[in-house]
Amino acid sequence: MVDARIVQTTKALHAAIVELASTRPVSSISVADVTRTAGINRATFYSHATSPGGLLTAVLTPELDAIRAEDQAQRAEGRSSGRDATRRSMERVVEHVVRYREIYRLALPDPLDASIHQALARHFEESSVQHLAGLPEGTLPEGLAVHIAAGHLAHGLVGAIEAWLGGRRTSRRALLDTMTLMLPTWWG
């Protein structure tokens, strides 16, 4: 059984980092800021995280992991396949980004802390590698290095999200349509 104090402390830390990261870049948030907002001490912070960026990553990535797991489960059960399944998964990622809009708007372009940029890129890269590994033999272009293609696609998708958040206002549908159109024709 998990100690109720640990659960309460974790909730306080998560709420504190979300509150702080919604108002300023991660690189400008100190451990003291987080501990003060959460009402805990430094030692307790370091028993849960190594940095504010690491803590924020720990808050955001489980939802992204759940999106990927649901996509894989649906594909494995034959309930989803192809571009429609990919679009549904990307739509859920866009909804996630919208839910944490201010955090992503401030964190993705932060030149002093790339933790959130890396976490989102890692999500897309892992999802891409798994998707490509599941395609029927002969689907991928000859000579394609899957890990390189996945990295290229992942960072392009993060760049699209960053441009959408920082550019002139367009709808989330425009972001989703653009991300879907960015996929290569052989994506499946």
* DSSP secondary structure, 105-130, as one string: HHHTT-TT--HHHHHHHHHHHHHHHH
Instruction: Give residue 51's pLDDT.
Output: 97
Domain extent at residue 68: 52-187
Q: What is the pLDDT along the chain (188 residues), one digit of tens a residue?
A: 668 888 899 999 999 999 999 999 999 999 999 999 999 999 999 999 999 999 999 999 999 999 999 998 888 887 777 788 899 999 999 999 999 999 999 999 999 999 999 999 999 999 999 999 888 899 999 999 999 999 999 999 999 999 999 988 899 999 999 999 999 988 87
> What is the reported pTM?
0.92
Note whether 127 and 183 are same-domain residues: yes
Instruction: Give residue 99's pLDDT.
Output: 97
Residue among 64, 83, 31, 61 nearest 188 (CA): 83
Note whether 67 and 144 are same-domain residues: yes
How is residue 45 written in tokens? 């912070």
Note whether 26 and 104 are same-domain residues: no
Note whether 40 and 60 are same-domain residues: no
Query: Domain ends where: 33, 48, 63?
Result: 48
Note whether 121 and 83 are same-domain residues: yes
Note whether 86 and 18 are same-domain residues: no
Note whether 32 and 93 are same-domain residues: no
Look-up of token digits 């206002």 = 169
Distances from the Cα of 182 to the Cα of 48, 158, 162, 173, angstroms: 38, 12, 15, 14
Note whether 173 and 82 are same-domain residues: yes
Please give the tally of structural domains in the chain: 2
How far, in Å, CA of 159 to CA of 146, rounded? 20
Note whether 72 and 104 are same-domain residues: yes
Note whether 151 and 136 are same-domain residues: yes
Phi first, then psi, for residue 79 (nearest 5°) are -80, -20
